[in-house]
Copies of this chain bind each other. A is one copy, B any other.
């Protein structure tokens, strides 16, 4: 043991000191900060009694229009880069649209298939690029869909493995994708990946790409990254019914009071619409109207996202700076440098992630549970951490990252001692 600043003893003392400061900072989830939410306060009262009718006179205060108002469809079709016939504008939760889509597949099946996924011999399976989004995995787990992991690289999933798996096994019915500013690594799918996903041969006739474009416009200051249109690519490859695209304004306006959308081929939209017609009375059209009026047009939405970026971009910079200053060149961690989205992904030495989360909690820093970015909550190498910088203030981030970096070093030192 030495007295170097990174010796086990020094790190332990440093951790004890940090734990004594009564800090309470939450970096677990991708929640917008109050300052971000303030940007959208105008939406609260923007729609009054004179704004509740459609261009054709339809009263949006009443029942009807189960797939959204024409104005909302036009707006969000442009947002999702599809036609108004290829979109359903729903309620406030894209997770609900994803769950309902998969639950509907399990119970009733999807176009191109041969029945409910719940009746597939041996069970239907879903490909899960990892690390990924815990709520996607929770939906699959609840619905009894077996998850098969594939590695997520810098430009998308390991396509050689994906293509081999889907070509071979008709029980593999879908793949989850967060194609832009991926949760948690922040990567953007390359055009070549989109093209391979669109064109690959699948043993299942009703194979679906679950395209959760949650961060479509959520850049960090460098502008919105381009992403090849998966529906257009699939259509060009003769597989128009393959993708189901999801989007939402949860991290654009007010989280929980936003608008969620599905975009897909007209055949898929017809199938989903028929299922939804039985399962719900329809979406909140007043809230759709609020969003259309608040943004005005897509340029207005993009300008709004620039204001978000001005708030959260510096927070990401602080996280990345702290990682570089404390862990750069140590070999103890690698991390993503996202250009958008809500997370920084950090890989620590194998077997250390859960311990880092525990040590950080002892020092008042709540991190996403280790393993959350993998199916069934189990990171096979116990190495991935997900940091969510948007909610804390800049000062809180500095304090939190001081703790996180110390905990990574300490966990690695502990591991060295036991080896």
Which residues from chain A sit less than 8 Å from chain B, CB to CB?
Answer: 29, 31-32, 34, 37-38, 40-41, 44-45, 47-49, 52, 59-64, 91-96, 99-100, 103, 106-108, 118, 135, 138-139, 141-143, 250, 254-257, 275, 278-287
Contacts and interface: CB of A to CB of B under 8 A. Distances in A.
6 contacts: A29-B63, A31-B63, A44-B48, A99-B278, A107-B118, A254-B286
A256 B280 contact: no
A284 B284 contact: yes
A279 B48 contact: no
Contacts of A49: 38, 41, 44
A278 B135 CA distance: 7
A233 to B, nearest CB: 29
Contacts of A44: 45, 47-49, 52, 286
Most-contacted residue by chain B among A48, A59, A94 (CB, 10 A): A59
A37 B63 contact: no
A30 to B, nearest CB: 9
A280 B52 contact: no
B95 A283 contact: no
**Nearest 5 Cβ contacts at the A-B interface:** A96-B280, A99-B279, A61-B254, A41-B49, A45-B45
Given A31-B63, A44-B52, A254-B61, A93 B286 contact: no
A107 B142 CA distance: 9
A283 B62 contact: no
Most-contacted residue by chain B among A48, A278, A279 (CB, 10 A): A279
Nearest to A254: B61
A84 to B, nearest CB: 20
Contacts of A41: 48-49, 61
Contact of A256 (B64, B99, B103, B256): B64
B103 A254 contact: no
A62 B281 contact: no
A167 to B, nearest CB: 30
A49 B257 CA distance: 14
Contacts of A282: 93, 256
A92 B91 contact: yes
A250 B54 CA distance: 20
A283 B31 CA distance: 16
A137 to B, nearest CB: 10
A29 B281 CA distance: 12
B37 A61 contact: yes
A81 B256 CA distance: 27
Most-contacted residue by chain B among A40, A41, A52, A142 (CB, 10 A): A142
A139 B278 contact: yes
Contacts of A286: 44, 254, 256-257
Contact of A63 (B62, B63, B255, B283): B255
Contact of A34 (B32, B45, B59, B94): B59
Most-contacted residue by chain B among A32, A107, A141 (CB, 10 A): A107
B280 A257 contact: no
A29 B31 CA distance: 41
Contacts of A63: 29, 31, 250, 255-256
B95 A281 contact: yes
Given A61-B254, A103-B279, A107-B107, 16 more contacts: A32-B62, A41-B61, A44-B47, A44-B48, A62-B255, A63-B255, A64-B256, A91-B92, A91-B284, A93-B281, A95-B280, A96-B281, A99-B279, A256-B283, A257-B284, A257-B287
